[in-house]
Structure formats: C-alpha cells, structure tokens
C-alpha cells in the first residue's frame, strides 16, 4: 500500500489550479442513466471515486468514458442493468445515487445498502422514505434495497435531517414522475445546484435549488446535454488551509470563492489574509494563528468536509479552540493521529478541545478517511522532521494529484510505493 512522506517546515508559495468537484461529478455521471442520449461532461476530476462510478455504470450497460483531460462521455441507451453490487458499493457509498435514476427510468433497482463507514452510521432511510412517498416499494433483503414502482408519482417530501445525496437522489427520481414533487428542508450545497443545472439542460423542470425548498415538475422524457462541473470547494479549502498553516502565500486558481464563504470568514477571523478576484483567491498565512471555535453545519455553514483540515490548523493556534462536529457522529479519528504528532487535543463526544501552540513532530500515522488523510498531510507540513502517512488510498479517492500540486508550491512531499 502506498504511503506519503512529508517533511515539514516549508512555507507554501505559488499558484495552484483547482480540479472539478468530486461530489458534483458523481451525481452528474449517474444522471446519464435518465436518458438514452449522450451526456458530455467537462472538468471531471480524475480520481478513484470517479473511476469506481465508471465501473458501476459500465456494469449496468452504460457506455462510460472518463479521460485524464477532465472530460467524460456517457450514453445509457443500452443500459438494462438495475444492479449496484456490494463489491462496488462497499468501496464507495455514493453508489447509492443510482437508485433515483434507475427508479425514474426503469421503475426498478437492486442496490446494495452502503453500510456504515469510518465517520458514522450514515443510514439511507431518508432516500427510501422519499421513494416510498412517490409510490415505490422498497424492501431491504440480504443487504440490498429491492425497489420497484409501476410509475413514480409526485409527492411532498420533508427531510427531518438535511441530506446531500438524499436530496440529489430524489431530485433525479422526480424528473420523470407523474406530477410535481416538493423537497422540503432540502440540502442547498453548491453540488445540488450544479446537478439541478445539469438536469435542466437535459430538459427537466427543477426550481428552488440552492434554497431549502426544491420543486420538480415531472416530464415524459429527458435528452442529452453538455455540462461543466463546478470547481471543488473542499480541495480549494484544503489548499487555503495549507497556505494558512505554513504561513505561506498561495494563489488558488479556477475555484469558486462564492461557495466557500464560511471557511474564508473563519480564515480571516484567525488572522490570515484573503484576497478574491473572480475565480481566484490569494491566501497568506500570518503569525500568530488565532485560535477560534467552529461548528460544522449543512451549507452555507462551515463544511464538515473541512473540519479535519481546520483541526490541523488549530493545533498551531495561540490559545484553545473548540471544534464541534454536528453532522457525523464519529469524525474525529484524525485527532488521535495528530496527538501522536504531539498535538494537545481532547475529545468530548462531538466536541474536540484543541490547545494550540505545541510544536508538532513527524511520526508514522494512519489515515482513516478521505479528509482525515488531507489533514495529516497539513499537520506534516508544519511538523519537525518526517511524517509517514499510511493508507493513502483514501486520499486518492477524492484529491487529484495532490502531492504534485503541493510539491509545485514548495512542499517536501513524496509518495512511497
């Protein structure tokens, strides 16, 4: 298994170009199931979760091509499969996103339940509740969801918890249902609006995305389209924190600063300088780094996918910061690894109390999930000596060429095969 070695102590300097958003490209690819015409995508990140999605779609008979230049071509004219097998779903929970499109197009789906993951139980009960409200039958048998419907009907669906993929799944399911569907307390992440804009360019009637109430009027058929995926706000955020923690000066290009307001306000609050010009941001890290509390929230609040990176930053703060994780019940695995590097972090249920000011030293550490791996790289960038991060396959799921991008900014980082 690959590892990554980071040698700390170098302020990052220069310009980095952000890739397309993994969490927008995944639903966009599965949306191709909704039509028998060609869907062309641009700005697709060449990361492992995208390749897993290609494999899943190919198994269902979709002609799916993904290229390193960021383009993808998908055509589901020959698609006949309704199966999302356990072997694939267990490697990527987002596979559950095929449920909505399969139900909309074929009225049938046999999808493995994702099961738990390192950061929490992550049930999909709200996805199934929504489909049942639309008239489907969803049985869970032998670890699979067996869903069927003679034809989905529009419905009023109220989520008791804001769910990103739940909103995406039901938005896609509703595109060809009979009548209007209203999604209430819906997620309003930028990735939701990106999917809505793709669906509209396929002929769907979707309104209200970006707000807590989304309305979808069903249409008989959808057609092909060309769509450019939005930039990855979590990758951009990771590089912004890298500039702040190393007291560096980095231009983050081809990103969408308007999608990152909560993080940028937090960085300004801790003393970093942030400049914005169109699709570019300049982040300059300053001393001292001011310790500042944060609570993760659904968008537009502070993203849970930035929590681990922010924790690494707060280990370098000039006081104490309390980080509250309100979305997932078990998303502090990275804290214990940072403690191995000399950080002072105490976990109290969903709160982490981070006492800053203790210099970190390099160590062998273990990545438990995608964002945890990124946070350990950030901690390694300011630690004395070498940090060796194991299980970086997590990282490859969602960051495109991160070592090369960091090395181009002056980081001492290499992959150890």
Binding stretches for ligand EPZ (CB under 6 A)? 23, 26, 94, 120-127, 161, 163-166, 304-305, 327-328, 370-371, 398
Output 162 or 360, the one with its CB closest to ligand EPZ.
Answer: 162
HSE-CB for 336 with a 13 A CA cutoff: 8
Q: Minimum CB separation from ligand EPZ for residue 47, in Å?
A: 10
Q: Minimum CB separation from ligand EPZ for residue 223, in Å?
A: 25
How many degrees, rounded to 5, is the angle at CA 264 between CA 258 and CA 267?
A: 175
Just list the catalytic residues: 117
**Residue 270: C-alpha distances to residues 10, 56, 66, 128 (Å):** 20, 43, 40, 42
Question: What is the CA 121 to chain-centroid distance, rounded?
Answer: 17
Q: Minimum CB separation from ligand EPZ for residue 104, in Å?
A: 18
Q: Minimum CB separation from ligand EPZ for residue 14, in Å?
A: 26
What distance in Å separates the CA atoms of residue 138 and residue 135, rounded to the nearest whole number? Answer: 10
Q: Minimum CB separation from ligand EPZ for residue 303, in Å?
A: 6
Output 230 or 251, the one with its CB closest to ligand EPZ.
Answer: 230
Q: Minimum CB separation from ligand EPZ for residue 6, in Å?
A: 20
Output 55 or 412, the one with its CB closest to ligand EPZ.
Answer: 55
Output 165 or 197, the one with its CB closest to ligand EPZ.
Answer: 165
Output 251 or 305, the one with its CB closest to ligand EPZ.
Answer: 305
Output 93 or 355, the one with its CB closest to ligand EPZ.
Answer: 93
What distance in Å separates the CA atoms of residue 351 and residue 294, rounded to the nearest whole number? Answer: 10
Output 4 or 29, the one with its CB closest to ligand EPZ.
Answer: 29
Q: Minimum CB separation from ligand EPZ for residue 112, in Å?
A: 15
Q: Minimum CB separation from ligand EPZ for residue 167, in Å?
A: 8
**3-state SS record for the chain:** CCEEEEECCCCCEEEEECCECHHHHHHHHHHHHHCCCEEEEECCCCCHHHHHHHHHHHHCCCEEEECCCCCEEEECCCCCCCEECHHHHCCCHHHHHHHHHHHHHHCEEEEECCCCECCECCCCHHHHHHHHHCCCEEEEECCEEEEECCCCECCEEECCCCCHHHHHHHHHHHCCCECEEEEECCCCCHHHHHHHHHHHHCCCEEECECECEEEEECCCCCCCEEEECCECHHHHHHHHHHHHHCCCEEEEECCCHHHCHHHHHHHHHCCCEEEEECCEEEEECCCCECCCCEEECCCCCECHHHHHHHHHHHCCECCEEEEECCCCCCCCHHHHHHHHCCCEEEEECCEEEEECCCCCECCEEECCCHHHHHHHHHHHHHCECEEEEECCHHHHCCCCCHHHHHHHCCCEEEEEC
């Amino acid at each position: 298994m690959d590892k990554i070695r980071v040698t700390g102590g170098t302020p990052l300097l220069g310009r980095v170009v952000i890739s397309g958003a993994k969490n927008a490209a995944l639903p966009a690819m599965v949306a191709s199931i909704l039509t028998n015409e060609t869907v062309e995508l641009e700005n697709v990140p060449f990361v492992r979760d995208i390749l897993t999605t290609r494999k899943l779609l190919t198994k269902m008979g979709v002609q799916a091509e993904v290229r390193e230049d960021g383009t993808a071509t998908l055509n589901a004219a020959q698609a006949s499969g309704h199966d999302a097998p356990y072997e694939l779903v267990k490697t990527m929970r987002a596979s559950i996103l095929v449920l909505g499109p399969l139900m909309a197009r074929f009225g049938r789906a046999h999808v493995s339940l994702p099961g738990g993951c390192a950061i929490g139980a992550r049930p999909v009960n709200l996805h199934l509740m929504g489909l049942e409200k639309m008239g489907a039958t969803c049985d869970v048998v032998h670890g699979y969801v067996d869903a069927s419907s003679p034809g989905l009907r529009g419905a009023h669906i109220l989520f008791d918890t804001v769910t990103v993929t739940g909103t995406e799944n039901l938005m896609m399911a509703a595109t060809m249902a009979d009548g209007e569907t209203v999604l209430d307390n819906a997620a309003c992440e930028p990735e939701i609006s990106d999917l809505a804009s793709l669906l509209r360019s396929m002929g769907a009637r979707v309104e209200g995305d970006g707000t807590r109430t989304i309305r979808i009027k069903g249409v008989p058929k959808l057609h092909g389209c060309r769509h450019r995926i939005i930039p990855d706000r979590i990758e951009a955020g990771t590089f912004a924190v890298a500039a702040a923690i190393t007291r560096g000066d980095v231009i983050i290009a081809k990103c969408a600063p308007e999608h990152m307001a909560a993080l940028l306000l937090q960085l300004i609050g801790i003393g970093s300088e942030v400049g914005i010009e169109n699709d570019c941001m300049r982040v300059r890290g300053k001393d001292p780094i001011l310790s500042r509390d944060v609570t993760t929230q659904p968008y537009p609040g502070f993203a849970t996918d930035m929590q681990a990176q922010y924790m690494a930053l707060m280990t370098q703060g000039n006081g104490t910061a309390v980080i509250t994780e309100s979305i997932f019940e078990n998303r502090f695995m990275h804290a214990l690894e940072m403690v191995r590097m000399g950080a002072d972090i105490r976990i109290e249920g969903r709160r982490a109390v981070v006492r800053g000011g203790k210099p970190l030293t390099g160590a062998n550490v273990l990545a438990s999930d995608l964002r945890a791996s990124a946070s350990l790289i950030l901690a390694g960038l300011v630690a004395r000596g070498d940090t060796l991060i194991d299980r970086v396959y997590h990282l490859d799921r969602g960051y495109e060429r991160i070592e090369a991008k960091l090395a181009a900014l002056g980081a001492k980082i290499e992959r150890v095969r």
